[in-house]
A and B are shown apart, each in its own frame.
Chain A
Amino acid sequence: MKRHLRPGLAAIIMFACILGNRTLEADPVLHVLVQLPLLGVCGALLAPRREWCWAQGGFAPLLAALFGIAFWMLPRSIDGAVTFPVMTAAKFLSVPLIGMLLAIGWRQAHALLRGFLKAQTVSMAGFMAFLFTHSPVRLCNNYLIDDQWRLGFGFLFLAIGLAMVWTIPLLFNARPRASPRTRAEPMTHVQSGVPA
């Protein structure tokens, strides 16, 4: 995508998320699996294309993003975002920041770190699916148990979908077979720069 279009697109997404907040947050699937990722994309679109030395290897920004994601995966935080205006505001500020950090970190991350994060993402989506589909208690006071259950399945589909998106391109990597001893080239070209 053309670079100069990014801020505009980000603004549109942000605007839509804010305007549609009532509707989106009424349904946990839309709230957690649509609105939050969209806000993240917003930040990623705005991420500066610079390489900082504090972000070398991507560790610091990615770690910060992971902590942020962990925070927003607490049922308590999601409940709070629905109940308390302060938390709603925090959501609109912090989630784009998380997306931005992810984008900054991803760009500088080594292929191994990226692979690790992908595996971890699939695993954690599976874990959330497990929790939400099988918890006998309601985890959010603002959502029905059926909604929680649907959210669990949403996470399951997310886990399966991401696993497919990330592995299928690896099945047939159309490159003539090299003789076994030739140097392998790093496979970073297989992975696009899309944050997990």
Chain B
Amino acid sequence: MMDNNSAQRLPGPQAGAVKFTMLLAGVVLLLMMVFGFVMRAAQGDLLDLDPAMFYQLLTAHGAGMVGTAGLTGAAILWYFMGRYVPLARGVFWAFLGLFLLGVVLILGAIFIGGYAGAWTFLFPLPANSGGVWGADAAAAFLLGYVAIGVAFLLLYLEVGRKLIAAYGGIGGALAWPLVMGKGTVEDAPPPAVVAAMATTIFNTIGTVVGAAVLASSLVNLYFPEFKVDALLAKNMIYFFGHVFINASIYMAVIAVYEIIPEYTGTPWKTSRVFAGAWSLVLLFVMAVYPHHLLQDTVMPAWSLAMGQIVSYLSGIPLLAVTAFSLIVYLRKANAMRWDLASALLVLGVAGWSVGSVPAIIDGMISVNKVMHNTQWVPGHFHIYLILGEVAMAFGFMMWLIGKPEHKAIGGFNWAVFSAYVLGGAGFTLMFLISGALSVPRRWAVHAPEWVLQSQIATGFALLVILGAAMFVLRYLLGLKHSAGR
């Protein structure tokens, strides 16, 4: 079993590369938040934004945020897996290079080519822009995704093969012997390895499916005689998108498993329930995606029923692996020290769990019929992204620059943290309220009676941005400080 005390001082392999990646990610997150702010302000009539620009920003915000969430998750995965298995350094640089290539292509497609078909590139939108953008812009956008997909594939192949070799196959790394009652807790791989193996598997599958639908869409752009089946494409895209964004959270949670023990002094061990829950998560994450398609009445009924049932069920292992096991763990631990890093990490788990509640509500077919195209949907996913994934990423960043003695949270830090939580909660709550009032999502211009809601949300968004800006600034200063040391 890994000794947590020594791990505290052991830098991951490539700490520098990971730190650099997190800096990039922090800056991009801020920029994308500003895009979000501008969109919400435009919906609130606070500024005059050309609707064409709104949709470009929406596309950039969606793709940029999802991509950056994935990037932070991947950096966390890489950093901590480096503690357990020897990872090839070149792979991370290749990952980063391909990822950045993808970003350049995507930004070029949007802001030079004018592509504004949303991050979901649903067929046939990329090909049918009505003259707003050309096939080349759409193709650049899709190729950007391909580059990012290849980047992730490489990363997962390296992590996957090393874990498989070190822990005796996929089953070993997922702690199946323990699940089946054969192994002992002492022999089981640590929680971080279980989580890493599970995400590696489902996100590799997601990437493979994504690549197939990307290739089809690309061919269709240039050879319209090759028709794409819209429903199948939608299924594949949502499978890929759903799995990808989930993977980013499941990778980020590795930071919680690895860092929180430093604050409690008690090792976090893989229990039987924990391991079993992760194997279920692995299946559920992939089986639940049809809940995005509940409004497609042409979908086979069984798949929608599966989406609904799994979306109820997936709440259980999700809560078991994260919230519940965190609570159990914290209760067993003697003491917990709070600083910005640990507070953000625990916030991340809380936000993620809370965010799953409105998600499950939306996953009910009867609710979905009325809610799915409302702001209820951005409402639920902003909870577990702003207060979940991104909080964990910021927590990881704070830990990366933290000094071993961990200054207790207080004063200014406390204010920044509160601003972020309050802003995030208020902002997402406004989305949920608007959604419950049937305000549609993805509308550049809002009806007069919705404007007030958008304005209030804009205010909360500002708080989030202020909080996030402080985190990034602190991180930057912390990096400088540690470089000086």
Contacts and interface: CB of A to CB of B under 8 A. Distances in A.
Q: Verify whether A and B have any Cβ pair under 8 Å.
A: yes
Interface of A: 111-112, 115-116, 119-120, 122-124, 126-127, 130-131, 133-137, 139, 163, 167, 170-178, 180-187, 190
Contacts of B187: 177
Interface stretch (B224-232, B299-307, B398-406): B224-232
Nearest to B88: A112
Given A172-B169, A173-B164, A175-B168, A126 B153 contact: no
B229 A115 contact: no
Contacts of A137: 225, 227
B2 A187 contact: no
The 7 A-B pairs at the shortest CB distance, nearest first, are namely A173-B169, A134-B229, A184-B166, A126-B212, A115-B157, A123-B211, A127-B212
Given A136-B227, A184-B166, A112 B91 contact: yes
B208 A180 contact: no
A174 B225 CA distance: 49
Chain B's interface size range is 35 or more
B283 interface: no
B157 A112 contact: yes
A151 B378 CA distance: 41
B212 A187 contact: no
Contacts of A124: 211-212, 215
Contact of B157 (A116, A127, A131, A176): A116
A139 B226 CA distance: 8
Contacts of B229: 130, 133-134
A187 B164 contact: yes
B162 interface: yes
Contacts of A131: 216, 219, 226
Given A123-B212, A124-B215, A137-B225, A180 B166 contact: yes
Given A120-B211, A130-B216, A180 B190 contact: yes
B425 interface: no
Given A115-B161, A127-B216, A135-B227, 9 more contacts: A111-B161, A119-B157, A124-B215, A130-B228, A135-B226, A174-B168, A175-B168, A177-B167, A181-B2
A163 B167 CA distance: 21
Given A136-B227, A184-B86, A175 B169 contact: yes
Nearest to B1: A180
Contact of A177 (B157, B172, B212, B228): B172
A106 to B, nearest CB: 16
Interface of B: 1-2, 84-86, 88, 91, 150, 153-154, 157-158, 160-172, 177, 183, 187, 189-190, 193, 204, 207-209, 211-213, 215-216, 219, 225-229, 232, 236
A170 B170 contact: yes
Among A111, A112, A137, A186, which residue has the most Cβ atoms of chain B within 10 A?
A112
A138 B19 CA distance: 53
A98 B171 CA distance: 36
Contacts of B189: 177, 180
A131 to B, nearest CB: 6
Contact of B232 (A112, A130, A177, A178): A130
A171 B232 contact: no
Contacts of B162: 184, 187
Among A173, A176, A177, A186, which residue has the most Cβ atoms of chain B within 10 A?
A177
Contacts of B158: 112
Interface of B is mostly: helix
Contact of B2 (A119, A170, A180, A186): A180
Contacts of B212: 123-124, 126-127, 130
Contact of A119 (B165, B169, B177, B208): B208
A127 B1 contact: no
B211 A112 contact: no
A82 to B, nearest CB: 20
A183 B87 CA distance: 10
A175 B177 CA distance: 13
A185 B165 CA distance: 6
Given A137-B225, A180-B166, A187-B161, A126 B208 contact: yes
Contact of B84 (A130, A170, A174, A180): A180
B190 A134 contact: no
B167 A178 contact: yes
A119 B204 contact: yes
Contacts of B207: 119
A136 B189 CA distance: 50
Contacts of B165: 173, 175, 184-187
A170 B170 CA distance: 6
Contacts of B228: 130, 134
Nearest to B169: A173
Contacts of A177: 167-168, 172, 177, 183, 187, 189
B216 A123 contact: no
Given A112-B91, A116-B157, A170 B164 contact: yes
A136 to B, nearest CB: 5
Contact of A182 (B1, B150, B166, B225): B166
Given A130-B212, A134-B229, A135-B226, A116 B153 contact: yes
Contacts of B170: 167, 170-173
Among B84, B88, B169, which residue has the most Cβ atoms of chain A within 10 A?
B169
Contacts of B153: 116, 119
Contacts of B209: 123, 126
A137 B168 CA distance: 48
A181 B84 contact: yes
